[in-house]
Amino acid sequence: MQILDGKRVSTKLKDEAQKEVTQLKSAGITPGLAVILVGDDPASHIYVNMKQKTCEDVGIYSIVHKMPDDISEEKIIETIQMMNKNPNIDGILVQLPLPPHIDEERVIGSIDPNKDVDGFHPCNVGRLSLGMDCFAPCTPLGVMRLLKEYDIELKGLDACVVGASNIVGKPMMNLILNEFATVDICHIHTKDLSSHTKRADIIFVGVGKINLITEDMVKDGAIIIDIGINKNSEGKTVGDVDFENVSKKCSYITPVPGGVGPMTIAMLINNTIKAAKKRGK
């Protein structure tokens, strides 16, 4: 069994990003990322602070628009439209979730697709499903980059994606399908989950349920990609996979923390640099 070390790979990617940003700056382009943060959700604030710090580390200009929980939908969209027109902003990110009175689809749809570094705009979602160049969501994209680092080829593999969210499951399905894996996608209404996971060469799981994937649900030598993030009764961060027991059977596995998580922010930086390069052209 080999650990897929996302922390190590993300550090390598950040070093590479720093060099790319330096080259862009020498050409007169400073990549810029703008984040909209609504409300006081502690987890959202932690994520945004991590993103901002990483931007600073690699030399990307970043700005956070903090808005009160009772902000109107129109005010958020006005701010996004302002950033759409700002030539110094290459990437726009709206930190989710938004308060219940805000229509997330409408807000995300107001972002210029060329600045949609989170990959959630319908235009980028459609291009991803067609296998076209686009901005893909950062977590699934980070998984793909992690697999590439370890020379894991998906072509011809039987893959099982557990979880069908718009942020992780569906884009994950499209990314691995574009690599010619045979994809089985499961969700809350799947009748017999283990019948799908048992025959998979590689399992991607991200639903937010502790120990959802157990040893008896995995075949020998399978590759396990745990995208889940949970807190157990002891307050420890764990994934969706029973790591201790499943790791005895698999060939590769991502730990939680230290697996997919660090790759997400690395891919946000990657997407922002990609957008800045397009501005350069």
Distance CA 49, CA 194 (A): 38
**Of the listed 90, 116, 118, 240, which one is catalytic?**
118
Catalytic residue among 90, 95, 116, 170: 95
Phi, psi of 10 (to 5 degrees): -65, -35
Catalytic (active site) residue 18: no
- What tokens appear for 10 in the block? 């993300």
Spatial contact of 204 and 177, defined as CB atoms under 8 Å apart: no
Q: Look-up: residue for tokens 């007169």?
A: 28
Distance of CA 90 to the CA centre of its chain: 18
118 among known catalytic residues: yes
In whole angstroms, what is the distance from residue 277 CA to residue 140 CA?
Answer: 22
> Is there a contact between 77 and 93 (Cβ–Cβ < 8 Å)?
no
Token pair, residue 205, equals 């799981």
Q: Is 51 a catalytic residue?
A: yes
Active-site residue (options: 51, 116, 184, 240) = 51
Q: Name the residues annotated as catalytic.
A: 51, 95, 118
